[in-house]
Chain A
Amino acid sequence: MCLAIPGRLQSIDDGDAMLRSGIVDFSGIRKQVCLAYVPEARVGDYVLVHVGFAIGRLDEAEARRVFELLDRLGELGELESPPPTGAAP
């Protein structure tokens, strides 16, 4: 729920793993963000930031899905059934 904005992880601070933090860049705005919940994130990754915490990493391949859908819609013209985009467990 709620306001979470994607930004690019610019740098990671040294220090305690649980309070691991770093600088996230949002189109020129830099903010210190807690990275405890994205231990896999590396510099250059995009993370989703909510109240000063990165709550997830953005998946580039999945991000393109809706545009693939749009392309298919453009080709189809008259839509029959939209291809499923739900990810299976």
Chain B
Amino acid sequence: MSARPLPDPAALACPLPIADYPHVLLAHGGGGRLSQQLIEGLFGPAFANPALDERHDGAVLALEGGRLAVTTDAFVVSPRFFPGGDIGSLAVHGTVNDLAMCGATPLALTVSFVLEEGLEMAELERIVRSMAGAARAAGVPIVAGDTKVVDRGKGDGVFVTTTGLGRVPAGVDVAPRRARPGDRVLVSGGIAQHGVAILSVREGLEFDGGIVSDSAPLHGLVASLLAGAGPPHVHVLRDPTRGGVASALGEIAQAARVGIRIDEAAIPIAEPVRAACEILGLDPLYVANEGRCLAIVASEAADAALAALRAHPQGAGAAAIGEVVSAHPGALVMRSRVGGERLVDLLTGEPLPRIC
């Protein structure tokens, strides 16, 4: 089964062939259109299979006696250490969360390191200890691993890849295709925190605001949500990492061929995070989160779902931000604070601070 081309909401954009890019660009890893092109144009057709075609964060495989979720992710964040975390804790949380977004209980992680020759051992130790701490706190063991070293100059210090396995409880069926008109869209807390925390320590942009990455494991929160709302009513889960809330919801809208509408005024964001975005000219909808969860739930269970999120320490700031509609299928539309409407497109390249 080959990959189908992405439905384009306004039928204006023409998907371009991969051959147009002789070199890998940063944007190919940005989580937006170019990343999608790589998936749709290269990986999808090459690896084609029903599980991959779900286009979800992890693959759920039927097994004798249950269903297994499996996912993998590489972590290349720079700077490697930032307020609220580091590449190690991020690698643990990120993969645990991709399992959680399948509705799975994480069982185990594996890790692969690609290290650049010349990396300080003390730094590696710091990263490894952080990973161990994060894994212990999350209750998920790292059960296998691999290490490779590349020549000096051939790698950016450390690249970490984690693969996760989880068990999907009976009755849980979480996937973009389950989004239905009438469903409500919830977010578990204030957005854009991780991306802003990273920027605050990036050379040339330093600012002081005490903003700390929200990087955290979400499987406990998800379990509470499933219990509170009832598993059949939780249709889609997604953690809005690179590309932010806009990319996550945009992708779901396209995969499920539904329209999604959100209300700018309803989207929670901490004041200093908002201020940082204003100063840099960034749209918070496109800024990465690492400890937040989007949930698309059946309308009859929305109140219970929101209550369940808010009852959990990681979901204290949860809010209902929108709904799934049958209008404009494939498109995410936002109602602005002043009442106007605009299309929220998929990210093009990295969000860059602007002066104008």
Direct contact of A and B (CB under 8 A): yes
What total of A-B pairs shows CB separation below 8 Å? 39
Confirm or deny: A76 has a beta carbon within 8 angstroms of a beta carbon on chain B.
no
Are A29 and B209 in contact (CB-based, < 8 A)? yes
Closest to B280 in A: A3
Interface string of A13-38 (1 = CB under 8 A from B): 00000000000001111110000000
Q: Please report the total number of A residues contacting B with Cβ < 8 Å.
A: 13
Collect the chain B residues with CB atoms within 8 Å of residue A1's CB. Answer: 356
Confirm or deny: A43 has a beta carbon within 8 angstroms of a beta carbon on chain B.
no
Collect the chain A residues with CB atoms within 8 Å of residue B207's CB. Answer: 29-31
Interface string of A39-62 (1 = CB under 8 A from B): 000000000011100000000000
Provide the bound-state CA to CA distance between A38 and B51, in Å. Answer: 61
Q: Please report the total number of B residues contacting A with Cβ < 8 Å.
A: 16
Confirm or deny: B274 has a beta carbon within 8 angstroms of a beta carbon on chain A.
yes
Collect the chain B residues with CB atoms within 8 Å of residue A28's CB. Answer: 209-210, 271-272, 275
Confirm or deny: B4 has a beta carbon within 8 angstroms of a beta carbon on chain A.
no
Collect the chain B residues with CB atoms within 8 Å of residue A69's CB. Answer: none
Are A30 and B209 in contact (CB-based, < 8 A)? yes
Confirm or deny: B341 has a beta carbon within 8 angstroms of a beta carbon on chain A.
no
Are A29 and B279 in contact (CB-based, < 8 A)? yes
Provide the bound-state CA to CA distance between A49 and B210, in Å. Answer: 20
Provide the bound-state CA to CA distance between A29 and B272, in Å. Answer: 6
Confirm or deny: A70 has a beta carbon within 8 angstroms of a beta carbon on chain B.
no
Are B276 and A29 in contact (CB-based, < 8 A)? yes
Confirm or deny: A2 has a beta carbon within 8 angstroms of a beta carbon on chain B.
yes
Collect the chain B residues with CB atoms within 8 Å of residue A51's CB. Answer: 355
Find residues 272-287 in chain B having any chain A CB closer than 8 Å to their own CB. 272, 274-276, 278-279, 281
* Given A3-B355, A3-B356, 4 further pairs, Cβ under 8 A: A1-B356, A28-B209, A29-B279, A30-B207
